[in-house]
C-alpha cells in the first residue's frame, strides 16, 4: 500500500488532536504506570525488563495506539471523512479506444485513512497503483485519480508492460471513469464502468 493525497482528510488537524489526547492520557496514566513499574521492579525477572521499558515510553506508545485505531477504524465513522472510504471489490467493464473493444475485470480497493492500494485484474493483465489522490466535491461526488503499473500475462505477447492513469467518479447513481495508457508504441485510452460488490477484508 502507498500514501495518497486527499482534500478532505484533515491530516494536520487529526494528527494534532491525536497528539493532544495522547498528552492528556499520558498525564493521567503516569502515576499509575510509575506505581506499577516500582512494584514490578522489586522482584523482577530479567526477561521482563523490556516490558518495563515499554511501560515507560508513555506518550509515544499512546500516540501509536490511537493513530493505529484512527487509521484503521475510527475514520470510517466520522462525517466528512468517511465518504472517502472506497474499500471494496468492484466489477469493472471497460471500453478501449482500440476498435472499441470491450473487456472486463475486478477492481479491488484496499484503503486506510493514510494509505491505499488499487488493483485491477483482467484476463490479459494486472494493474497496481503507485500514486493516488481522492477529492470530495461540494455536491458529495468523490473523485479518485491514480497512476498505475500494468503487467501483462505471459500468454499475451502483444501487450507490453506500461504505465497509465485513471480518473474514477463515485456518485450516488453511478461509478464511472476514464483511463489512459502510456506504452510508447501504441498509446490507448478508454472508459470504465464499475459496480460495487462485496467488501474487502478491511484493515
Q: How far apart are CA 85 and CA 79, in angstroms?
A: 11
- Ranges of each domain in the chain: 2-77, 85-196
Q: How crowded is residue 139: how many other Cβ atoms within 10 Å of its Cβ? A: 7
Task: Mark the ranges of the chain whose per-residue pLDDT is less than 70.
Answer: 30-57, 154-158, 183-186, 198-203
pLDDT confidence of residue 162: 84
pLDDT tens digits, one per residue of 38-58: 665 566 555 555 554 555 567
Cut 0.85: pTM above it = no
CA distances from 24 to 21, 59, 70, 75, 76 (A): 5, 9, 17, 21, 24
Structure confidence at residue 26 (pLDDT): 78
Please state the φ and ψ torsions of residue 148, each to the nearest 5 degrees.
-140, 160
CATH number of the structural domain 85-196: 2.40.128.120
What is the pLDDT at residue 139? Answer: 85
Residue 124 confidence (pLDDT): 83
Amino acid at each position: 500500500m502507498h500514501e495518497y493525497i486527499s482534500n478532505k482528510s484533515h491530516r494536520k488537524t487529526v494528527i494534532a488532536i491525536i497528539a493532544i489526547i495522547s498528552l492528556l492520557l499520558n498525564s493521567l496514566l503516569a502515576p499509575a504506570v510509575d506505581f506499577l513499574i516500582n512494584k514490578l521492579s522489586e522482584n523482577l525477572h530479567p526477561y521482563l525488563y523490556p516490558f518495563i521499558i515499554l511501560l515507560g515510553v508513555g506518550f509515544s506508545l499512546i500516540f501509536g495506539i490511537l493513530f493505529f485505531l484512527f487509521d484503521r477504524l475510527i475514520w470510517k465513522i466520522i462525517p466528512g471523512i468517511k465518504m472517502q472510504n472506497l474499500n471494496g471489490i468492484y466489477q469493472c467493464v471497460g471500453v478501449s479506444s482500440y476498435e472499441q473493444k470491450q473487456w472486463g475485470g475486478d477492481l479491488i480497493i484496499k484503503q486506510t485513512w493514510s494509505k491505499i492500494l488499487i488493483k485491477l485484474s483482467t484476463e490479459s493483465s494486472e494493474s497496481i497503483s503507485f500514486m493516488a489522490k481522492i477529492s470530495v466535491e461540494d455536491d458529495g461526488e468523490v473523485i479518485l485519480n491514480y497512476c498505475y503499473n500494468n503487467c501483462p500475462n505471459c500468454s499475451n505477447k502483444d501487450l507490453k508492460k506500461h504505465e497509465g492513469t485513471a480518473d474514477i467518479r463515485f456518485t450516488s447513481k453511478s461509478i464511472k471513469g476514464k483511463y489512459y495508457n502510456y506504452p510508447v508504441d501504441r498509446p490507448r485510452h478508454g472508459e470504465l464502468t464499475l459496480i460495487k460488490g462485496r467488501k474487502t477484508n478491511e484493515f
